[in-house]
Amino acid sequence: MSKIESLRARQILNSRGDWTIEVTVRASGGVEANASVPQGESRGSHEAVSLPADQAIKNILEIIGPVLKESECVDQAQLDARLIELDGTATKERLGGNALLGVSMAYARLMALSENLPLWQYLRNISGLELNSPTPPRLLALMVEGGLHAPGASPFQEYLVLPRGLAITQSIDIVTRIYQSLRQIVSERFGPAATRLGDEGAFAPPTTQPLEPFNLIIAAGQAVGLAETFDVGLDAAANNTPFTAEELMIYYRQMRSTYPLCYLEDPFKEDDFIHSASFLAESNKEMMIVGDDLTVTNIERMKIAQAERSVNAMIIKPNQIGTVTETLKAARQARRYGWRITVSHRGQETNDDFIADLAWGIGADGIKLGAPTRGERVSKYNRLLEIAAQNR
């Protein structure tokens, strides 16, 4: 494989029934690979700009394609630098972060195929991270959702189960058993109609009490004899809640003292580095205070968070920044700061399982995939199982 032969793009549907893009890169010799791009439902204002699907496709076919066609297949960093230069803006607003990422991810798959490597191994090889033997990321499985993902439910966005220190297969088994138990408990407590699902496949019971979802999850674990096998976590997505910082602080202290809470994501507004730093300072070192809208996989935002000591962990989402190389750069920077890393899906997903390979490839501490249901989430759970089987 020596040259890029063609670049194609088309519209596909995401999990919300909205349009997104799929990109296919073909090299001389007939090798080709594709990638599809998710969208965020709850998006930080500092993320890379995602253009409408038809405009992103037009930019791929009319601007990016002609530049890359018949060019030599260079390494990932060179390809991504070329994309960034073509766009020429800090937020990818000219060509669209979704256009750039679709090309970048498809190219990464193409290079992995050309080197006869699984994608996770290719990503590990180019990551620049010092990693030992492959270890699975810890699952952060969604059980109850609210916020923008489920209006009428809790004001907080994601209530998570984190199985403790087990292999992927065992962790997924715990997650699925708790999930099925939770279905029954929600039905008994609120009626069968209350087992409706949110955007990411979790239950969205009609309670506006921020602590109640944890009670339901704990009860579900106890009902199947798994109460001692997991911790819980919360993605507050505080940007989208009606609470003041002081009210949020009270809720988090209650959660921390009442439940086995080990993970708290975006506890305050997206530019509130100060309150996040205050809560981190009073928390134990093992608890993860995690930036997502706060850091948006962006080095410049990460620098502020580090200077203020606002977080000790962060979310990695490729579509927040726009290319594979920039995603890996953010992971390296996080490790330099001593932060833990969680790779995450988005609210409007596709069946693309790239993030499962990414999490394994960069040695992520955790991975968020949504609930263990719906095809666009299950595809990523199944990819984790496949990688685990290959590494036995």
Domains of the chain: 4-126 (3.30.390.10), 138-390 (3.20.20.120)
CB 347 within 8 A of CB 41: yes
What tens digit of pLDDT does each residue of 246-280 get? 999 999 999 999 999 999 999 999 999 999 999 99
How far apart, in Å, are the Cα atoms of 308 and each of 249, 262, 279, 304, 359?
18, 21, 12, 6, 27
* The pLDDT value given to residue 208: 80
CA separation for the pair 146, 204 (Å, rounded): 6
C-beta neighbour count of 230 within 10 angstroms = 25
Q: Catalytic one among 22, 41, 158, 200?
A: 200
* The pLDDT value given to residue 97: 97
Tell me the CB-side half-sphere exposure of residue 359, using CA atoms within 13 A: 32
Residue 21 pairs with which residues in a beta bridge? 11
* The pLDDT value given to residue 147: 81
**Strand locations in 221-362, DSSP E?**
230-235, 261-265, 288-291, 313-316, 340-344
Q: Catalytic one among 317, 329, 368, 380?
A: 317
* The pLDDT value given to residue 102: 98
**Structure-block tokens of residue 101:** 């990422």
DSSP state letters, 105-121? HHHHHHHHHHTT--HHH
Indicate the residue type of 133. S
In a 3-state reduction of DSSP, which class is residue 354?
A: helix
Tell me the CB-side half-sphere exposure of residue 313, using CA atoms within 13 A: 24
pLDDT lower than 50: segments of the chain = none
Clarify whether 317 is annotated catalytic.
Answer: yes
CB 270 within 8 A of CB 46: yes
Clarify whether 200 is annotated catalytic.
Answer: yes
* The pLDDT value given to residue 346: 95
* The pLDDT value given to residue 137: 95
CB 315 within 8 A of CB 290: yes
CA separation for the pair 75, 72 (Å, rounded): 10
CA separation for the pair 281, 260 (Å, rounded): 19
